[in-house]
Amino acid sequence: MHSFAMNSREFLAALMSRAGDTANSLARKAKVPQPTIYRFLSGTAAEPRVSTFEPIARHYGVPVEAFLSDRARAELVAALFSGDSDKTLAALPTAAVSDDVPIPQFDTGGKMGDGLELRDQPGLIKSWRVDQAWLAQNVRGATSASNLCIVTGFGDSMRPMFNPGDPLLVDRGVITADYDAVYFFRVDGEGFIKRLQKIPGRGLMALSENPAYQAWVVEPTMDFEVFGRVLKVWRSEDF
């Protein structure tokens, strides 16, 4: 029997890959906050509590001990890679082989207890499905294809960059505003899409493309969270 050592992060990533899940889809199915899953997978947060692992284990049909115990996990991983027909492993969901890459809608409901408020949003683009060729030729600099999501443009503060209702491709793998770029973020329970820029002596500034909107400072006392960096926008035009 081969020996395959996985830590709990790698184990979860393997289960997600086998099922074709993203952090967004797993959050929706297992009723676990998406940021918790992402931060655990990326190593930017401590290991979640047992209560977080339990619904994930139920979703994948594996014992929760596999997330908590190196020995239990090693036995399960060994069985998986040795081709054991253990019914627990056989019950794991398997993704269909496909060249398609699903790009899901960003799940605003998982961000806050009552959902995230996006002002003046004219409907939603629920999901995209693209092939690998489109991704390779049209998307540059993404942290991972599995981190991509669609956000439907809302409000008019970023005109003429994009209009309300236009699709925005967001990389959820970027959760800090380390450099000047356009980000999707929240302050308290309200979502924003703005250019974030660090200005010496002033701090982190939120800048709009529309000159009718004033720039404002993201104060250290604010409940601030970056959901992702906007990689690409499509600006609609009526004919």
Q: Give pLDDT tens digits for 2-23.
A: 445 678 888 888 888 888 888 8
Looking at the structure, tell me whether residues 151 and 49 fall in a common domain.
Answer: no
Looking at the structure, tell me whether residues 114 and 210 fall in a common domain.
Answer: yes
Domain boundary among 90, 108, 127: 90
Instruction: Work out the mean pLDDT of the chain and round it to a whole number.
Output: 82
Looking at the structure, tell me whether residues 80 and 162 fall in a common domain.
Answer: no
- Percentage with pLDDT > 90 across the chain: 33
Residue 202 belongs to a domain? yes
Do 149 and 24 meet the contact criterion of CB atoms below 8 Å apart? yes
Looking at the structure, tell me whether residues 168 and 125 fall in a common domain.
Answer: yes
Distance CA(147)–CA(24), nearest Å, equals 9
Residue 3 belongs to a domain? no
Read off the pLDDT of each residue in 198-213 and give the average, rounded to a whole number.
94
CA atoms within 13 A on the CB side of 142: 20
Distance CA(176)–CA(134), nearest Å, equals 27
Looking at the structure, tell me whether residues 106 and 157 fall in a common domain.
Answer: yes
Strands (E) located in the chain: 100-104, 127-131, 148-152, 167-171, 181-187, 190-199, 203-207, 216-217, 224-233
Predicted pLDDT at 65: 82
Predicted pLDDT at 229: 95
Domain boundary among 90, 110, 136: 90
Distance CA(68)–CA(190), nearest Å, equals 35
Over the stretch 74-132, which tens digit does the pLDDT of each residue have?
878 877 655 544 444 455 554 444 567 888 888 764 343 345 778 777 788 888 888 88
Predicted pLDDT at 96: 44
Give the total number of structural domains in the chain: 2
Looking at the structure, tell me whether residues 65 and 134 fall in a common domain.
Answer: no
Read off the pLDDT of each residue in 182-211 and give the average, rounded to a whole number.
94
Read off the pLDDT of each residue in 51-74 and give the average, rounded to a whole number.
84
Of residues 83, 60, 65, 63, the one with CA closest to residue 14: 60
Local structure of 192: helix, strand or coil: strand
Domain boundary among 31, 63, 90: 90
- Token pair, residue 48, equals 């979640």
In three-state form (DSSP H/G/I as H, E/B as E, the rest C), the secondary structure along 67-98 is: HHCHHHHHHHHHHHHHCCCCHHHHCCCCCCCC
Looking at the structure, tell me whether residues 84 and 114 fall in a common domain.
Answer: no
Looking at the structure, tell me whether residues 32 and 124 fall in a common domain.
Answer: no
Predicted pLDDT at 48: 65
pLDDT at 45 over 50: yes
Looking at the structure, tell me whether residues 109 and 75 fall in a common domain.
Answer: no
Residue 238 belongs to a domain? no
Is the peptide bond between 104 and the residue preceding it cis, with omega within 30 degrees of 0? no
Predicted pLDDT at 231: 95
Other residues' Cβ atoms within 10 Å of the Cβ of residue 170: 26
CA atoms within 13 A on the CB side of 177: 24
∠ CA 173-179-182 to the nearest 5 degrees?
Answer: 70
Phi-psi region of 135 (alpha: psi -120 to 50; beta: other; left: phi over 0): alpha
Domain around 159: 100-233
